[in-house]
Structure 1
Amino acid sequence: MSERARSVHPGMTLGLLAVVCVSYVLQQTLVVPALPTIQRDLGTTTAWATWVFTGFLLTSAVATPLLGKLGDTYGKKRLLMVAMAIFAVGTVASALAGSIAMLIAARALQGAAGAIFPLAFGIVRDELPAHRVGMGLGLLSATFGVGGGAGLVLSGVILEHLHWSWLFWIGAAPIVVALVLVWRMLPESPIRTPSRVDWQGALALSVGLCALLVALSEGESWGWLSGATLGLFAAAALALCGWVAVELRVDEPMVDIGMMRDRAVLWTNIVAFIVGFAMFGVFLLVPTFVQMGAGLPPEVAALVPYGMAASVIVAGLYLLPSSAVMLVVGPTAGVLEGRVGARALTLAGSVVLGAGGLLLAVAHDSGAQIVAGNALVGMGVGLVYAMLAKLIVDAVPPSATGVAMGMNTVMRTIGGVVGGQVGAALLSAFTIPGTGGIPQERAFTMTFLVAGAAALLAAAATLRIPPRGSEAAAAGRVALTAEPGRG
């Protein structure tokens, strides 16, 4: 079995992992356009319907570093199959859900499979030839944007012709097929880090991330200065401080704090947070912007002098150019990395992403302008996401790839939640009188400006990452490798 698995062509390995990653990202975004329909069909409130999306992100952030660590300990293929099985069960359960409580629980189960990405990145590092690792990481990173954009388009098509449960039935098929193929064909990584599970650290980190993400997700509706919001932020701070204390005390921590403090890892995670913020600030607003004016009574539409009055399907199509650009840019960046360097490409991607956000802020009167700005955003995100994975891989020993990539994914998720909430807050703060809360054009302009500026801040943060081969970077890698049992 193992010999047959190891004879699998690297292209087949990469193709299987790409299918798995796309399937996961599709389920993350497919439900976004469907939330009003789900709310109506299940007879629930907007707040509870929003948890169909929030619950997914929450469990993803909590489970990703834990499963990534278990992958380093017990085998990345084994834990990838566990994550895929959890994802498949959650997807089928979502399709069968007959109440909002059941659907939220099923979506939370889906999100718990978020470690699919860091585990897939680890398998690429362990199994692909060295000269193909950069390209492989770039391709898998590109699926973040490709799956996200395609999910919004596919969702509109499905909702127009089928019941919303088909969002999940259609999504279950590729993950089940991929699970069987992964079991039969992929080799198990020979790189392991034997260790005990740090349940104290896992619990403290989970509580901290849960409190933080719930506060960020609900702060807009509860009020940012409400007792509940401030209480959750305080609980998050206490739990995360407790987590650091636990990790510094135990012999075999879930996450080595020394690794997280390493300059290359620290600044790469900061860049991941900022770019997640900037990307969601654009991607979640572009479909909303182009739909402005659609379905409104004539007297209200006359008060909304912007937007394209696009349908849900057409709004999703505005994101396809950026997704297509990502699909090309990600693997290409991986090929170029050996000659240019991951740090330089991350810097270039952050600048391009910033230019895309700023272009959308000043030029959004026509479809061509929207597509051009969004294409720049896609190019920037494709470059940065592809290189974030490579920067982490270069900065940590192979035995810590899963947990390190898991924490980087968490930082990107938290950044995306913050970016989405900042955009929502700006849209709520500036509305057109007499329209029932429709945002003013300047609310979108300000959000695009903030996203563009954030991306340029990410470019500045990238300069703090040590160049590969520098004395500082080499010293960090030696220090990490010299700590057996800490991962």
Structure 2
Amino acid sequence: MSSVGTATETSATTKGVRPSAVIAVLAFAGMSASFMQTILIPIQAKLPELLNADRGDTAWVITVTLLVSAICTPISGKLGDMYGRRRVAVVLLALLVSGSIICALSLGTVPLIIGRGLQGTGMGVIPLGISILRDTVPKERLGSAIALVSATLGVGGALGLPISALVTEHFDWHALFWLAACLGLVSLVLYFLVVPARSTKTHGRFDYVGAAGLALGLTGLLLAVSRGNEWGWTSASTLTWLGVGVITLLLWGWYELRQQNPLIDMRVSARGAVLMTNLASIAMGFALFSSSIVFPQLLELPESTGGLGLSLLNASLILMPSGLAMLAMSPVAGRIERLIGPKPLLTAGAVIIAAAYLAAVLLDMNMWLVLVINTVIGVGIGLGYAAMPTLIMQAVPAHETGAANGLNTLMRALGTSVAAAVIAAVLANSAVATAAGPIPTKAGFDLALMFGLAAAVLCAVIATLIPRPKRAIDNENALPETMAEEHELLPTK
């Protein structure tokens, strides 16, 4: 068998498939997976006390989920392209459930880190779900469906934060992970019952060396970015991991270009439409997470220090409408995309986010302004995240949509990781000593918001430069340039 293999289609008929049920299950699974990213925020500061461990050790409970999700997302996308997206998604959900149970039963740091790592694998169900939509949903619903599943990257975290705060306020912290296990188990069962077991498959040899190289490169890069504030940006640990990450990724790219069946096809990824969309994704991910760091701190700081003095639960409820806005924009984004296409939709989303950040910089913030501005940012994110998968799928062959969407999801995660480091550094450098500890100043908050504004403007500029996609290699399976053409290529009832 050739290492490249051939694309084969299984179960071509759509008889018995209920698109509404499939969309609902994929969205629920995506929100369940992204919920794992914010599940520990309510107790993050208390982890050293709860686990009787050093703060540096407990930091890995947060970091390991970021690392594993970043590594597994593109790898699981490729595995889905090769062996079936539903099959791989079911495995990821089983790992998520296993990790949640381990965390729920853990009494120490090591098992909690292991469980959190397994939870991180679940993020791969989001790009896999987007690719499954291409196989199962008719054209008139595809745009809205992609928008909904894509938005779950942000929705799960926004909705999960108040839920986590509420649970930890009334129950033992282990209850968070029993809740996570229940969400994962429900998603797993629904996947078996509702999602059809078919997709475009490519047969061939899996690129184990490429997977290992990508894992090492991303680990080095993300460790340097996520722990740089703690270690010091010029410390030996930060510079060493940064060097390992950059050098490994360069060697990995050189290696991938020479493979017949690479983990990620670098030539396809270097196409103008794919490359520019991924760059815009990094910028939009940065813009999304900037507000996620600034607004919670602003809401929770005491009024005597310039904050708004809300509890974690109340602050979470103020921030939750942003996630609801992302959900609400899904059908709207689908209709707009059919009218004007995904590129203008991405540009419009970035412009809306930039306008919201500009208002945040110019106006004196209060609780209601934070609610409105953060909700508007959610609207912009909903539009932008709806456009990105379609832009990617227009430019890649059908048998590579899993890997391509996985890489795009990774780019969004990279943007959020960089934002977490940069915004945290900005706020820390502006902080002044008080009896309650270091408190960020108004100038620090304004500068952090300016970074979010700059990222949104950069995203809008990049979006306008995305070229018209060339036809993908396998023309008969490529996503058309307008959603109006999709009906020709997708099975219908």
1:278, 1:6 → 2: CA distance? 42
Q: Structure 1: any 5+ residue segments left out of the alignment? A: 294-300, 468-472
Distance in 2, Cα, partners of 1:34 & 1:139: 29
8 Å CA contact 1:215, 1:232 repeated in 2: yes
Query: Which whole-Å deviations, capped at 9, do the CAs of 1:152-202 have from their partners, x for residues lacking one?
Result: 111111111001111110121122122122113321224111121011111
Deviation at 1:99, TM superposition (A): 0.6
The CA distance in 2 between the partners of 1:178 and 1:432, in whole Å, is 46
Q: Is the contact made by 2:34 and 2:123 (CA closer than 8 Å) also made in structure 1? A: no
Answering whether residue 458 of structure 2 is matched by residue 462 of structure 1, we say no
Distance 1:241 1:479 in 2: 28
Q: Secondary structure at the match of 1:308?
A: coil
The answer to whether 1:437 aligns with 2:438 is yes
Shift of the alpha carbon at 1:474? 2.6
What is the Cα deviation at residue 6 of structure 1?
4.6
How far off is 1:478 after superposition?
4.2
Residue 382 of structure 1 deviates from its aligned partner by 0.8
Partner residue, 1:66: 75
Aligned length: 468
Q: What residue number does 1:470 align with?
A: none
4 and 198 in structure 1: CA distance in 2 versus 1, 3 angstrom threshold: closer
| Partner AA of 2:451 in structure 1 | V
Instruction: Note if contact 2:84-2:200 (Cα within 8 Å) is conserved in structure 1.
Output: yes
TM-score (ref. length: structure 2): 0.91
3-state SS of the aligned residue for 1:163?
coil
Aligned to 1:383: 383
Verify: 1:178 aligned to 2:187, yes or no: yes
**Aligned-partner residue type, residue 352 of structure 2:** V
Partners of 2:241 and 2:474 in 1: how far apart? 36
CA distance in 2, matches of 1:236, 1:119: 26
Q: CA 1:364/1:34 → structure 2, altered by over 3 Å: closer, same or farther?
A: farther
Identical residues among aligned pairs (%): 35
Aligned-partner residue type, residue 117 of structure 2: A
Partner of 2:470: 474
Unaligned stretches of 5+ in structure 2? 1-9, 479-493
User: Deviation at 1:2?
Assistant: 6.9
Which consecutive aligned stretches of 4+ in structure 1 deviate over 6 angstroms post-superposition? Answer: 1-5, 479-483
Aligned with 1:275 (options 265, 276, 284): 284
Matched residue SS, 1:192:
strand
Q: Does 1:75 align with 2:79?
A: no
**Conservation of the 8 A alpha-carbon contact between 1:77 and 1:123:** yes
Residue 201 of structure 2 aligns to a residue in which SS? coil
**1-structure distance, mates of 2:448, 2:162:** 23
Corresponding position: 1:236 with 2:206: no
Aligned to 2:484: none
Q: Deviations over 1:370-412 (max 9, x none)?
A: 1121111111111111111111122212100000001011111
| Aligned CA-pair RMSD | 1.9
2:69–2:120: 8 Å Cα contact kept in structure 1?
yes
Alignment partners' CA distance in 1, 2:324 and 2:122 = 25
CA distance in 2, matches of 1:183, 1:463: 41
SS in 2 for 1:189: coil
| d(CA) in 1 for partners of 2:163, 2:366 | 24
The amino acid of 1:438's aligned partner reads: I
| Equivalent-residue separation in structure 1 for 2:225 and 2:199 (angstroms) | 40
Aligned: 1:348 with 2:384:
no
The aligned amino acid for 2:236 is: G
Tell me what 1:319 maps to.
319
Aligned residue among 110, 122, 136 for 1:127: 136
Give the distance between the partners of 2:108 and 2:412, measured in 1 at CA.
31
How does 1:279-290 map onto structure 2 within 5 Å?
Answer: 279-290=288-299
Q: Identify if the C-alpha distance between structure 1 residues 414 and 319 changes in structure 2 by more than 3 Å, giving closer, same or farther.
A: same
Residues 320-352 of structure 1 show CA distances to partners (whole Å, capped at 9, x for unaligned) of 221121111123101221111100010000011
**d(CA) in 1 for partners of 2:476, 2:243:** 35
1:44 deviates by 2.0
Does structure 2 conserve the Cα–Cα contact (< 8 Å) formed by 1:153 and 1:313?
yes
Distance 2:130 2:410 in 1: 15
Q: CA deviation at 1:4?
A: 11
Shift of 1:464: 1.5
1:15 match: secondary structure: helix
The equivalent of 1:339 in structure 2 is 339
After TM superposition, the structure 1 stretch with the greater mean CA deviation from structure 2, 201-210 or 328-337, is 328-337
Structure 1 CA distance, aligned partners of 2:232 and 2:415?
Answer: 20
User: 1-side partners of 2:208 and 2:228: how far apart?
Assistant: 29
Contact conserved, 2:397 with 2:474, CA < 8 A, in 1?
A: no
Q: Report the alpha carbon displacement of residue 3 of structure 1 after superposing the two structures with TM.
A: 9.9
- Structure 1 residues 190 and 140, CA, compared in 2 at 3 Å: closer, same or farther? closer
TM-score (norm 1): 0.92
CA deviation map 1:288-344 (0-9, x unaligned): 110011xxxxxxx64x1x211000101101212211211111231012211111000
User: Which of 51, 62, 86 is the matching residue for 1:53?
Assistant: 62
Task: Classify the secondary structure of the residue corresponding to 2:156.
Answer: helix
Alpha carbons of 1:39 and 1:362: their partners in 2 closer, same or farther (altered >3 Å)?
farther
